Amino acid sequence: MIVNEYVKQFEKHGFGMFVHFGIYSVHGKGEWAKHTLAIPDEEYDKALKEFCPKADWAKELVATAKAAGCKYITLTTRHHDGFSLYDTLGLNDYDAPHSACGRDLVREFVDACNAEGIVPFFYHTLLDWREESYRTDFKKYLAYLRRSIEILCTQYGKIGGLWFDGMWEKPDEDWEEDALYGLIRKYQPEAMIINNTGLSALGALGHIELDSVTFERGNPSPINLADSPKYIASEMCEIFADHWGYAARDFNYKSLAQMIRELCLCRRYGSNMLLNVGPMANGELRLLDKAMLRTLGEWVALHEEALRLPRPCGIEVQGDRDDFLLQNGAEYYLFRHNLPMAADPNVAIGDSKGYQTEFRMPEKIRSMTWLDDGSAVKFTQDGDKVTVYSEPFRYGGSLVVRIAKIST
pLDDT at 199: 52
Q: Do 300 and 371 reside in the same domain of the chain?
A: no
Residue 346 has pLDDT above 70, yes or no: no
Confidence class of residue 250 from pLDDT cuts 50, 70 and 90?
Answer: very high
Q: Where are the beta strands (DSSP E) in 144-294?
A: 161-165, 192-195, 212-216, 233-239, 272-277
CA distances from 177 to 78, 124, 193, 209, 257 (A): 19, 14, 11, 9, 39
- Structurally, the chain folds into a number of domains equal to 2
Same domain as 138, residue 97:
yes
What CATH number is associated with residue 277?
Answer: 3.20.20.80
Of the three residues 308, 342, 370, the one that is the final residue of a domain is 308
**Cα-trace Rg, the chain:** 23
241 & 389 share domain: no
Task: Tell me the per-residue pLDDT of 288-324, one tens digit each, with 9 for 90 and over.
Answer: 999 999 999 999 999 999 999 999 999 999 978 899 9
Residues 52 and 98 in one domain: yes
Does 317 share its domain with 211? no
Same domain, 107 and 241: yes
Question: Does residue 353 sit in the same domain as residue 210?
Answer: no
Is the pLDDT at 75 greater than 80, yes or no?
yes
Task: Please identify, among 280, 308, 336, the residue that sits at the C-terminal boundary of a domain.
Answer: 308
Q: Which range of residues forms the domain containing residue 141?
A: 5-308
Do residues 203 and 319 share a domain?
no
Does 136 share its domain with 262? yes
pLDDT by residue (tens digit) across 45-60? 999 999 999 999 999 9
Q: Mean of the per-residue pLDDT values for the chain?
A: 94
- CA 236-240-242 angle, to 5 degrees, is 95
Q: Model confidence at 219, in pLDDT bands (50, 70, 90)? A: confident
Please spell the DSSP secondary structure of 236-255, one letter per residue.
EEEESSS-SS-BTT---PPP
Helix (H) or strand (E) holding 262: helix 256-268
Instruction: Give the confidence band of 343 by pLDDT, cuts at 50, 70, 90.
Output: low
The region of weakest confidence among 126-130, 196-200, 217-221, 403-407 is 196-200
| 86 and 212 fall within a common domain | yes
What confidence tier does 106 reach under pLDDT thresholds 50, 70, 90? very high
350 pLDDT above the threshold of 60? no
User: Which stretches does DSSP call E strand in 104-232?
Assistant: 119-125, 161-165, 192-195, 212-216
- Nearest Cα neighbor of 83 from 287, 245, 291 is 245
Domain end, chosen from 285, 308, 331, is at 308
Q: What is the pLDDT of residue 320?
A: 80
Are 296 and 345 in the same domain?
A: no
Q: Is the pLDDT of residue 202 over 80?
A: no
Q: Could you give the CA distance from residue 343 to residue 264 in angstroms, rounded to a whole number?
A: 26
- pLDDT category of residue 347 using cuts at 50, 70 and 90: low
User: Residue 353: which pLDDT band, with cuts at 50, 70 and 90?
Assistant: low
pLDDT at 129: 97
**Euclidean distance between the first and the last CA atom of the chain, given in angstroms as a whole number:** 30
Instruction: Collect contacts of 321-328 with beta carbons under 8 A, ≥24 apart.
Output: 322/261, 323/357, 324/268, 325/359, 325/406, 326/267, 326/268
CATH number at residue 355: 2.60.40
Structure-model confidence comparison of residues 221 and 41, the more confident one: 41
Q: Are residues 270 and 366 in the same domain?
A: no
364-393, pLDDT tens digit by residue? 999 999 999 999 999 999 999 999 999 888
